[in-house]
Chains A and B, each alone.
Chain A
Amino acid sequence: MKRVPLTKEERVSYKMIMPYICFIMIMVIVLFTSNVIMSFTDESGRFTFRNYVNCFSDELTFISFKNTVVWVLGSVAGQMALGMAAALLLNQVRKGQLFFRSIILILPWATLDIVAGVMWKWMYNDMYGVLNDILMKMGLIDEYIAWLATPNMAMLAVIIANIWKGFCLTGMFILAGLQSIPAQLYEAAEIDGAGSLRRFWNITLPQLKQVLMTTIMLTTIWTINYFPLIYTMTGGGPANGTETVVTYIYRLGFRFLDYNKSAALSNILFLIILGISMLFLRQISKEGENV
């Protein structure tokens, strides 16, 4: 291949991008490299595989991965469902859309992570929590539930809180996707006599496919990485019932001061996330070619 000299346009663009590359990318590369090196050394600085071996022989690693899967599946499914419902509703109204959007989509988003955590923690309180009281008055439960006291209930509780905190973002994406669907499609379907369910199934969903894929990918990755909510609500407990990979990495590094093992586990997590995003990105670009 012959080397083609840079055009003027290229020179200008490289000059504009250089500062970013120098600063951020090099920083990322340096940090990541040091993380990799750290994961392959022991306390005395010698090369070792022990950190990775420790990760895999550690029962808590498996528990944390299992919890992460439950946490991600539950949160993403809930956020997609609620986000879709909110977007479909908001898309139907003109008057007051700004008002409803502010409450439904903006309020949970603007709430600080830690504030969302403590707010839900207080609502889940087994004695003084408002949630038990409301459910009791509605006749849904017979006795107060100790939400954060057993592993399974605690997981359910943090997932519900996370759905509240995060569905607004999926709602925004889906709403924007809905607004870009041409109205003629629906008019034509209505003339053909298609009911609203058929219209949703045959027009809305296929048209939204691209948006939905991207949204699922982003929420999946964000949920895997999401730390503050679990940290403030349960701290990973009870009995490691809500310990996800991220909270475990944090505890390894900053509670047990086992930096090397923490680095090893975080590299494993990084590879998994990279794999997931590659899978999605490939699927998304394939879909893009078909359209």
Chain B
Amino acid sequence: MRRAVRKKLNSALVYTILIFLSCVIAFPFIWLVITAFKTYPDIYAYPIRYLPQEITLEHFEKISSMNFLSYFKNSMIVGFGTMILSVLIALFPAYAFSRYRFRGKGVLLTTVLLLQMFPQVVFLVPMFKFLSSIGWLDSYWGIIFSYLPFTTPISIVFLRSFFISVPKSLEEAAMIDGCGRMKAFWKVIFPVTLPGISAVGVYAFLFSWSELLYSMSILVGKERQTIPVFLSLFIGQYQTRWGPLFAGSILSTLPPLIIFMVLQRYFISGLVSGAVKE
């Protein structure tokens, strides 16, 4: 009897703290959303007005008049390009790492894990020089190419853990039924691990979606710049135009937010088994 009461109290306490924590964590983002719908007099009200006196869409109109859609399109192209190439490059090595035993496997796998920690900034200047020497500066190919060394190692680690979770007997059965190695992979393993594969793809997509350092340095011309570069233009040394900046922030955060929330099960399991259970 007393134990039951204590349990109830305990769980009430846990929920209370969780609700409080959620409010604290969500607050900065909620504040961003509220600010984006405020007029400038409301944004610069002193003392602060928490709720807007009138809701305005002027900032959203402003950024769409600044060609936000074209930056969005660029981000999409670069994101999908990075996603497709990362998955294509990582798929088979990950499969081999998960299924076969071969000499040098340990060394290669460690190398992949180490590449995952490589500081992006180390390659910044050589990448810039290399791309400019082959004329890929300021191009979709150039920026996608520069992302691949950073997206593929983690893709291999994720994919490997997804493949390991599929019992080996599945494709052995298919091979006994007369499928070749390739056919067994495409017919049996690929469909089963498709959720995991798409999670890895989305991860690569989102990496390029929010990447700032390379996109800022490599994409010089306006026609090919991605959203983070566009947003960074609003941050001035002396004055920042908060309204359009926040309107653009909301529009650019929505896609990853929705994707993450829908796919969170796959992400969390893949990420964790990849990184922690090594």
Give the distance in Å from the alpha carbon of A211 to the alpha carbon of B32 in the complex. 34
Q: Count of chain A residues with Cβ under 8 Å from any Cβ of B?
A: 90
Give the distance in Å from the alpha carbon of A116 to the alpha carbon of B212 in the complex. 12
Minimum CB distance partner of B114 in chain A: A277
- Given A102-B264, A119-B249, A127-B46, does the pair A24, B148 have CB atoms closer than 8 Å? yes
Q: Are the CB atoms of B92 and A17 closer together than 8 Å?
A: yes
Q: Are the CB atoms of A31 and B232 closer together than 8 Å?
A: no
User: Is A201 positioned at the interface, with any CB of B under 8 Å from its CB?
Assistant: no
* A-B residue pairs in contact (CB < 8 Å), sample of 6: A12-B96, A118-B246, A214-B278, A227-B212, A259-B129, A266-B124
Q: Are the CB atoms of B28 and A164 closer together than 8 Å?
A: yes
Q: Are the CB atoms of A107 and B256 closer together than 8 Å?
A: no
- Given A100-B18, A119-B28, A232-B232, does the pair A34, B122 have CB atoms closer than 8 Å? no
Shortest C-beta distance, B225 to chain A (Å), equals 13
User: Is B194 positioned at the interface, with any CB of A under 8 Å from its CB?
Assistant: no
Q: Are the CB atoms of B126 and A114 closer together than 8 Å?
A: no
Give the distance in Å from the alpha carbon of A203 to the alpha carbon of B271 in the complex. 24
Residues of A within 8 A of B276 (CB): 173, 176-177, 210-211, 214-215
Q: Are the CB atoms of A221 and B117 closer together than 8 Å?
A: yes
Q: Are the CB atoms of A101 and B264 closer together than 8 Å?
A: yes
Q: Which of B60-68, B99-107, B135-143 contacts A (4 or more CB under 8 A)?
A: B99-107
Q: Report which of B46, B48, B148 forms a contact with A130, defined as CB distance below 8 A.
A: B48
Residues of B within 8 A of A214 (CB): 275-276, 278
Which 10 interchain pairs have the tightest Cβ spacing?
A: A176-B272, A16-B92, A16-B96, A13-B96, A13-B100, A112-B210, A10-B102, A115-B249, A20-B93, A110-B257
Minimum CB distance partner of A169 in chain B: B271
Q: Are the CB atoms of A269 and B210 closer together than 8 Å?
A: no
Q: Are the CB atoms of A232 and B271 closer together than 8 Å?
A: no
Q: Are the CB atoms of A262 and B125 closer together than 8 Å?
A: yes
Give the distance in Å from the alpha carbon of A269 to the alpha carbon of B119 in the complex. 8
- Chain B, 102-118, contact with A by CB distance < 8 Å: what is the 0/1 string? 11010010010011011
Residues of A within 8 A of B45 (CB): 128
A-contacting residues of B (Cβ < 8 Å)? 10-11, 14-15, 17-18, 21-22, 25-26, 28-29, 31-32, 35, 43-48, 50, 89-90, 92-93, 95-97, 99-103, 105, 108, 111, 114-115, 117-130, 148-149, 152-153, 156, 181, 206, 209-210, 212-213, 217, 227-228, 231-232, 234-235, 237, 240, 242, 245-246, 249, 252-253, 256-257, 259-261, 264, 268-269, 271-273, 275-276, 278
User: Is A146 positioned at the interface, with any CB of B under 8 Å from its CB?
Assistant: no
Give the distance in Å from the alpha carbon of A235 to the alpha carbon of B240 in the complex. 13
Q: Report which of B213, B240, B253 forms a contact with A121, defined as CB distance below 8 A.
A: B240
User: Is A202 positioned at the interface, with any CB of B under 8 Å from its CB?
Assistant: no
Q: Are the CB atoms of A266 and B125 closer together than 8 Å?
A: yes
Residues of B within 8 A of A110 (CB): 206, 253, 256-257, 259-261
Residues of B within 8 A of A114 (CB): 210, 212, 228, 231-232
Shortest C-beta distance, B123 to chain A (Å), equals 5
Within 8 A of B (CB), among A169-214: 172-173, 175-177, 210-211, 214
Within 8 A of B (CB), among A92-115: 92-93, 96, 98, 100-104, 106-115
Residues of B within 8 A of A21 (CB): 108
Residues of A within 8 A of B115 (CB): 24, 28
Give the distance in Å from the alpha carbon of A259 to the alpha carbon of B257 in the complex. 37
Q: Are the CB atoms of A107 and B130 closer together than 8 Å?
A: no
Q: Are the CB atoms of A228 and B100 closer together than 8 Å?
A: no
- Given A130-B48, A177-B276, does the pair A118, B21 have CB atoms closer than 8 Å? no
Q: Report which of B21, B117, B210, B275 forms a contact with A113, defined as CB distance below 8 A.
A: B210
- Given A122-B242, A130-B31, does the pair A17, B210 have CB atoms closer than 8 Å? no
Residues of A within 8 A of B125 (CB): 35, 38, 253, 259, 262-263, 266
B-contacting residues of A (Cβ < 8 Å)? 7, 9-10, 12-14, 16-17, 19-21, 23-25, 27-28, 30-32, 34-35, 38, 85-86, 89-90, 92-93, 96, 98, 100-104, 106-116, 118-123, 127-128, 130, 133, 164, 172-173, 175-177, 210-211, 214-215, 218, 221, 224-225, 227-228, 231-232, 235, 246, 249-250, 253-254, 259, 262-263, 266-267, 269-270, 273-274, 277
Q: Are the CB atoms of A86 and B100 closer together than 8 Å?
A: no
The total of interchain contacts (Cβ-Cβ below 8 angstroms) comes to: 256
Shortest C-beta distance, B92 to chain A (Å), equals 4
Shortest C-beta distance, B30 to chain A (Å), equals 10
Q: Are the CB atoms of B14 and A128 closer together than 8 Å?
A: no
- Given A35-B126, A89-B17, A253-B124, does the pair A228, B249 have CB atoms closer than 8 Å? no
Q: Are the CB atoms of A128 and B48 closer together than 8 Å?
A: yes
- Given A12-B181, A102-B264, A128-B45, does the pair A250, B121 have CB atoms closer than 8 Å? yes
Q: Report which of A19, A93, A106, A259 forms a contact with B89, defined as CB distance below 8 A.
A: A19
Shortest C-beta distance, B24 to chain A (Å), equals 9
Minimum CB distance partner of B31 in chain A: A130
Q: Report which of B46, B100, B227, B256 forms a contact with A128, defined as CB distance below 8 A.
A: B46
